[in-house]
Structure 1
């Protein structure tokens, strides 16, 4: 009868769910760490469908974020800056390196730093190696924190006002070559790959295709849902 089939199906779902949970929590689980949603994020782990979930857990509080970031970046943890309700840096860090790439020291949030580290590891370095046969040694940026409104708006605050964004303009390769977005945007497949890859780690990434204000950099911000 139909109701018996429904009960049987429900029972199978419960058993499957129980089995899946057991697989996740068992201390001797064969499930790899990078597939296990209750295991903490490790920046160098392979990317899987649960990686975004792990990032969300890692950035919930500053202590967890810093512990996750520390093996894959060079930074100094700093006290928060509270200029006003709309201008501040919480979970502030002074970042000087992500992965293998140095940065001019930049004060930002731990979350922004962690997302940049994921982009460097899993998007920037692989695409640059495929395109140029070299690795990136320096990421050039246009800062993160800036207490201001969105350009062209007199009221809406920029995500830079809370350091929830960073602007990336280019990078330097191992052989010393300088790669600038504003000069090389015509190589759209490469740069669009960097932008689209950025959208995996950041909520919003804006570049030259968005408007002239972003002609020379990628605006990479933690929240949103826009990639252009």
Structure 2
């Protein structure tokens, strides 16, 4: 009996040592963007843990004012460290579910401009946009067209409404109602060429087959960092744009 107990503790000790050694090797050699305990780095490639790390900056709807300020300040500090110019946007309450707290505006810096600009968006959504811009959009534009991106054409972020603009009370509020969504209509390149969802998604527009491949690459890449990505293949409501948001649920279509 005593020997069996000793063997049991020896086995536990060996397992503990094995786990510790495995953690040490993982911590030392795995890409930091794949490890949830490593800090978020907006300059790093998108990893397995990137989206979850961004989610750490999400605010609960019931968060106290002090928490809203502290978390948003930390989020803005990270954006600024990455070379993005950002400012806090005023909170707003348009009644019902249309409440925006802890939102920001990207005003410049190392980020592709949004057109129109001055959008109000949740700070984690701004983080997601910066990551997508650097790790998906810019490389795709260079590899496809050999050109830099001049701007991302969009249909806005904040909109006080339910999903699809529905007036049915049974339909849930849109993430746009809390400035946690961005609708991308297309991309304009530095050389003046434009690739749009409305014209080029299916490859039959001015950008040809190349434009369709490019846009679908942007959509797939967005699924790595945004929690929801919807486009023309999802339904008619998204036939002319890609919808990106940071909702708690996950859907990529």
- 1:130 Cα deviation from its structure 2 partner: 1.1
1:204 aligns with 2:228: yes
Q: How many residues align?
A: 225
Q: Does the CA contact (< 8 Å) of 1:136 and 1:173 recur in 2? A: yes
Give the secondary-structure state (helix, strand or coil) at the position aligned to 1:123.
helix
CA distance, structure 1, for counterparts of residue 167 and residue 9 of structure 2? 58
- 1:45 Cα deviation from its structure 2 partner: 1.5
- 1:101 Cα deviation from its structure 2 partner: 0.8
CA distance, structure 2, for counterparts of residue 42 and residue 82 of structure 1? 32
Q: Which moved more, 1:85-94 or 1:118-127?
A: 85-94
Equivalent position of 2:168 in the other structure: 154
Equivalent position of 2:104 in the other structure: 93
1:106 aligns with 2:122: no
- 1:50 Cα deviation from its structure 2 partner: 3.1
1:133 aligns with 2:132: no
Give the secondary-structure state (helix, strand or coil) at the position aligned to 1:176.
coil
Structure 2 unaligned regions, length at least 5: 60-70, 204-211
Q: Does the CA contact (< 8 Å) of 2:181 and 2:244 recur in 1? A: yes
Q: Which has the higher strand share?
A: 1
Q: Provide closer, same or farther for how the CA distance between residues 198 and 72 of structure 1 changes in structure 2, counting only shifts above 3 A.
A: farther
Q: Does the CA contact (< 8 Å) of 1:141 and 1:167 recur in 2? A: yes
CA distance, structure 1, for counterparts of residue 31 and residue 131 of structure 2? 19
CA distance, structure 2, for counterparts of residue 53 and residue 3 of structure 1? 41
Q: Does the CA contact (< 8 Å) of 1:41 and 1:58 recur in 2? A: no
CA distance, structure 2, for counterparts of residue 97 and residue 180 of structure 1? 23
Q: Provide closer, same or farther for how the CA distance between residues 8 and 48 of structure 1 changes in structure 2, counting only shifts above 3 A.
A: farther
Match of 1:62 among 57, 61, 72: 72
Deviation by residue 1:140-167 (Cα, 9 ceiling, x = unmatched): 1111011112224512211100111110
Deviation by residue 1:41-96 (Cα, 9 ceiling, x = unmatched): 12112333332343233446212211122224222112322333511111111223
Question: Counterparts of 1:4-19 in structure 2 under 5 Å?
Answer: 10-19=12-21
TM-score, with structure 2 as normaliser:
0.77
Question: Counterparts of 1:107-126 in structure 2 under 5 Å?
Answer: 107-126=120-139
CA distance, structure 2, for counterparts of residue 85 and residue 114 of structure 1? 27
Q: Does the CA contact (< 8 Å) of 1:94 and 1:106 recur in 2? A: yes
| Rg comparison, structure with higher value | 2
Equivalent position of 1:41 in the other structure: 40
Q: Does the CA contact (< 8 Å) of 2:91 and 2:103 recur in 1? A: yes
Equivalent position of 1:227 in the other structure: 252
Q: Does the CA contact (< 8 Å) of 1:81 and 1:92 recur in 2? A: no
CA distance, structure 2, for counterparts of residue 54 and residue 46 of structure 1? 13
- 1:209 Cα deviation from its structure 2 partner: 0.5
Equivalent position of 1:163 in the other structure: 179
TM-score, with structure 1 as normaliser:
0.84
Computed over aligned residues only, the root mean square deviation of the Cα atoms, in angstroms, reads 2.8
Give the secondary-structure state (helix, strand or coil) at the position aligned to 2:223.
helix
Structure 1 unaligned regions, length at least 5: none
